[in-house]
């Protein structure tokens, strides 16, 4: 069984999160909703983070393969910042 926070475990999570409707206006989307929700869930499950800022900090140091597996929009490169 894949560990929490592994790229292998992201597939099942992402499949469930893709069903969540995106309430954001079209111009406000840098990443897909499933990715944003996936980062929140994974950061809370693996590190116990309890805020949006903490989730962003988790994403900044997370394995790039995991972030890509969650559906991160890279724009041709992988760069993470808080």
- pLDDT tens profile 29-44: 777 888 889 888 888 8
Phi then psi for residue 21, to 5 deg, are -70, 150
pTM assigned to the model: 0.68
3-state SS, one letter per residue, for 54-69: HHHHHHHHCCHHHHHH
CA angle 22, 8, 21 (to 5 degrees): 10
3-state helix, strand, coil in the chain (%, to 5): 55, 0, 45
Could you say which DSSP state residue 52 is in?
H
The average pLDDT across 51-79 equals: 79
Average pLDDT, the chain: 76
Encode pLDDT of 2-26 as tens digits.
555 555 655 677 788 888 888 877 7
């Amino acid at each position: 069984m894949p560990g929490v926070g592994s790229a292998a475990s992201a597939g099942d999570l992402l499949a469930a999160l893709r069903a969540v409707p995106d309430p954001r206006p079209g111009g406000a989307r840098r990443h897909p909703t499933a990715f944003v929700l996936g980062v929140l869930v994974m950061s809370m499950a693996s590190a116990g983070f309890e805020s949006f800022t903490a989730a962003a900090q988790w994403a900044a140091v997370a394995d790039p393969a995991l972030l890509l597996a969650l559906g991160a929009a890279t724009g041709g490169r992988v760069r993470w910042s808080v």
